[in-house]
Amino acid sequence: MADERGQGLGGLAFALAWVRDPRRVGAIAPASRALAQAIAREVARVGPELLLEIGAGTGAITQALADLGPPPDRFFVVERDPGLVRHLHHRFPRAEVLHACATGLEALPLPPAASLMLVSSLPLMSMPREEARRCVQSMLTLMERTPNARLLQYTYAARHVRPFDQLPPGWRWRRVTTVWANLPPATVWSLEPAAHPTQGIH
């Protein structure tokens, strides 16, 4: 019940954020439960010590991640839109919700950890190109300075289109899954060390 109310208020906050800045919201609806669960399954499979969600929006994916039970001081959520940040604070008191821009992830007060998983909903293909470039650079910088780091990023593009190119040496994309029960259908990608033995489609 509380979750349904959270989703309803989230829908309103999402619509208002979309009106304020459609290119940065980048989607016509929050992530579906099927997409959120596909992402949470991959996070659970890897089991990172530190979890950082970027561009959390209404919290559809945040909810699935919170259901995995990460300790509050190991679960960070970043969002740029102030209305959505207020909503996330209210909905997820057991997460560290930060009002911040993903171009400055290196400056976040994250604790040291033996492994890190970034979960990004950033609309890299619709947001202003220079901002997307700086967000990618910031995610890669954080990943390169943290041991055992990975990034999960979903896209609405064709299934073979990777979220971004120009990877630093030693990294590669793995396609985790395509979720058809999402509006629009979404493909989840994992950026991980090339040497890592994994399952999935490359």
**Residues lying near ligand SAM in the complex (CB under 6 A):** 14, 17, 24-27, 30-31, 55, 57-58, 60-61, 78-81, 84, 101-103, 121-123, 127, 131, 135
How far apart are CB 111 and ligand SAM at their closest, in Å?
20
CB of 129 to ligand SAM, least distance (A): 13
Of the two residues 132 and 191, which places its CB atom closer to ligand SAM in the complex? 132
CB nearer to ligand SAM: pick between 58 and 153: 58
Q: Tell me, what amino acid is at 138?
A: S
Least separation in angstroms between CB 106 and ligand SAM: 13
Q: How wide is the angle at C-alpha 134 spanned by C-alphas 128 and 139, nearest 5°? A: 125
Rank residues 24 and 172 by Cβ distance to ligand SAM and give the closer one.
24
Smaller CB distance to ligand SAM: residue 67 or 114? Answer: 67
In this structure, the number of other CB atoms found within 10 A of the CB of residue 1 comes to 5
Q: How far is the CB of 101 from ligand SAM (least distance, A)?
A: 4
Q: Cα(22)–Cα(154) distance, rounded to whole angstroms? A: 18
How many residues are there in the chain?
202
CA distances from 200 to 34, 92, 117, 178 (A): 18, 32, 18, 11
CA distance 86 to 135: 22
